[in-house]
Amino acid sequence: MAMEAEAAPLGEAIGAFRSESPPWARALPCRLDVAPATASRPEVVLAVNGIDPRTGVDCIGSTAAALTTQTVLTAYPGDEIDLVLSVGTAGGWSRLGADIGDVYMAWDRFVSHDRRIDIPGFDAFARGDLPAADLRHHAAALGCRTGIVTTGDSLDESPDDQERIRASGAEVKEMEAAAVAWVAHLHGVPVGAVKAITDLVDSPVSTSEQFTANLAAAAQSLRETTLALLDRLGADS
């Protein structure tokens, strides 16, 4: 997860306790908390990007997300981790039927909309197209929508970004998932995403205003949906 405000309700609910990062990652702000398995839930490692020491704000975005994912997957090697989930807030589109508070699970892939390399081969690398774990039956059971998740390092979007998002068919816009997916794939671990909609990209109200107004409610939705998903994953295993 990227933000403390997104992670706090879930962290409290699962009763996680602090775990050490591997030595190579100790200079990074990311934080690992572990919640032991319960009768209904598998063991959970809650990894949060942490606070940037220079600016004092959450390390939102793909660089910190990739480093956090690498930290988790070296602290708990790929053969110990069944599934990586990128959990957080996102923008959606009312023209595609999204509403504030909706929760999406990623299907069928993660893409990047602000990495443009117009050279054969590199164009595909930049776009990502990383497969998402098939959580559709869980999404249906939990009343979640599903959609392609598109990642970029800005809260707003340039005209080029908008064009690429339309071309990819993405329905969920956020700032970490494709980076998390890239690292998880390198480790051979399936990756999914749970994203609560804080803002409608095609609304006349600014994204930052919508985001700020809806962050706390979205964090509660993330908590409820993620807990229910963890119970269902526990029942499957």
Check if the beta carbon of residue 14 is closer than 8 Å to that of residue 46. yes
Interface residue with ligand ADE among 10, 90, 170, 219 (CB under 6 A) is 90
Find the catalytic residue in 102, 171, 174, 199.
199
Active site residue 6: yes
Phi first, then psi, for residue 124 (nearest 5°) are -70, -40
Is 51 or 211 the residue whose CB approaches ligand ADE more closely? 211
In the chain, what is the straight-line distance between the N-terminal and C-terminal CA atoms, in Å? 24
Residue 30's CB is within 10 A of a number of other CB atoms, namely 20
Active site residue 199: yes
**Interface with ligand ADE in residues 32-61 (CB under 6 A):** none
Residue 74's CB is within 10 A of a number of other CB atoms, namely 15
Alpha-carbon distances, residue 30 vs 2, 10, 53, 201, 227 (angstroms):
9, 17, 11, 29, 22
Q: Is 168 in the site for ligand ADE (CB under 6 A)?
A: no
Is 102 or 174 the residue whose CB approaches ligand ADE more closely? 174
Q: Is 175 in the site for ligand ADE (CB under 6 A)?
A: yes
**Binding mask 203-232 vs ligand ADE (x if CB under 6 A, - otherwise)?**
----x---x---------------------
Check if the beta carbon of residue 106 is closer than 8 Å to that of residue 193. yes
Interface residue with ligand ADE among 138, 173, 194, 222 (CB under 6 A) is 173
Find the catalytic residue in 6, 58, 157, 161.
6
Check if the beta carbon of residue 150 is closer than 8 Å to that of residue 115. no
Interacting residues with ligand ADE (CB under 6 A): 89-91, 155, 173-175, 198-199, 201, 207, 211
Catalytic residues: 6, 199
